[in-house]
């Protein structure tokens, strides 16, 4: 167990992911500023619309300080590390902190076919959007997270993935989510192309007539 300062947000940070963060509330300026000074991490948790935070989150390290304003507000780049689970909350500081434990994966390796499938669909997604970036290395021990960090999944899907402790189950689910993302992207592109042709999207009946 270890004690960790918490930063509830309306986003899910996954391991290896880097996201920009604007820090403006006094309590979080204290938290993030202290972590920068001491070289420590803080915890990012998904907070729902009702203000309730999930029990599983991700450690975040400040990878780069982009800007510090005169009033102490700052723009930083954070990077996701290990996942953690809340054990006991503490309210003795301006920000929430908690005793946490590391979320450890089960000894349940993914099916090689699921790994290949997830990487294949991810590459097709990249090609569809015209991304020039190289796909992650298949042999990376963090391949699943490297893929997730590069796809604009919704918060619910990302939260679901960080809570899964079976690599086998997680890769299988990741493949499904990637398929859904590719289908949605392909449909969106088709609609745009058809709409740009004559300003109208044909009905299913018109499509069958073709």
Residue 98: what pLDDT? 96
Q: Which of 5, 15, 128, 155 has its CA nearest to residue 79?
A: 15
Residue 196: what pLDDT? 65
Q: How many Å separate Cα 184 from the centre of its chain?
A: 19
User: Could you name the CATH architecture of 2-102?
Assistant: Roll (2.30)
Q: Which of 20, 24, 29 has its CA nearest to residue 60?
A: 20
Q: Which of 41, 46, 140, 23 has its CA nearest to residue 81?
A: 41
Residue 64: what pLDDT? 97
In the numeric block, the tokens 């930083």 are attached to 76
Instruction: Say what the pTM is.
Output: 0.86
Q: 79 forms bridges with which residues in the sheet?
A: 18, 61
Q: 59 Cβ partners below 8 Å, 6+ apart?
A: 4, 41, 42, 43, 44, 80, 81, 82, 83, 84
Q: What is the pLDDT along the chain (210 residues), one digit of tens a residue?
A: 789 999 999 999 999 999 999 999 999 999 999 999 999 999 999 998 888 899 999 999 999 999 999 999 999 999 999 999 999 999 999 999 999 999 999 999 999 999 999 999 999 999 988 888 899 999 999 999 999 999 999 999 999 999 999 999 999 999 999 999 999 888 777 666 666 655 554 444 444 444
Handedness of CA 136, 137, 142, 144 (dihedral sign): positive
Burial 17-36 (b: 16+ CB within 10 A, else e): bebebebeeeebbbbbbebe
Q: Which two tokens stand for residue 14?
A: 């996954």
CA-to-CA distance for 142 and 160, rounded, in angstroms? 17
Residue 179: what pLDDT? 96
Domain ranges of the chain: 2-102, 112-198
């Amino acid at each position: 167990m270890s004690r960790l300062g918490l930063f509830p947000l309306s986003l899910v940070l996954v391991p290896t992911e880097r996201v920009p963060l604007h820090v403006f509330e006094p309590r979080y300026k204290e938290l993030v500023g202290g972590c920068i000074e001491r070289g420590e991490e803080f915890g990012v948790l998904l907070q729902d619309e009702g203000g309730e935070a999930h029990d599983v989150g991700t450690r975040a390290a400040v990878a780069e300080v982009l800007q510090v304003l005169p009033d102490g507000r700052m723009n930083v780049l954070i990077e996701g590390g290990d996942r953690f689970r809340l054990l006991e909350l503490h309210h003795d500081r301006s920000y929430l902190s908690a005793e946490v434990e590391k979320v450890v994966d089960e000894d349940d390796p993914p099916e090689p076919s699921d790994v290949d499938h997830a990487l294949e669909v991810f590459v097709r997604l990249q090609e569809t959007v015209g991304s020039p970036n190289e796909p992650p290395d298949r042999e990376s021990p963090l391949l699943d997270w490297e893929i997730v960090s590069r796809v604009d999944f919704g918060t619910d899907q990302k939260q679901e993935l960080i809570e899964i402790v079976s690599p086998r189950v997680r890769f299988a689910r990741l493949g499904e989510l990637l398929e859904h993302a590719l289908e949605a992207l392909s449909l969106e592109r088709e609609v745009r192309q058809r709409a740009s042709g004559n300003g109208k999207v044909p009905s299913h009946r018109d499509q069958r007539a073709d």
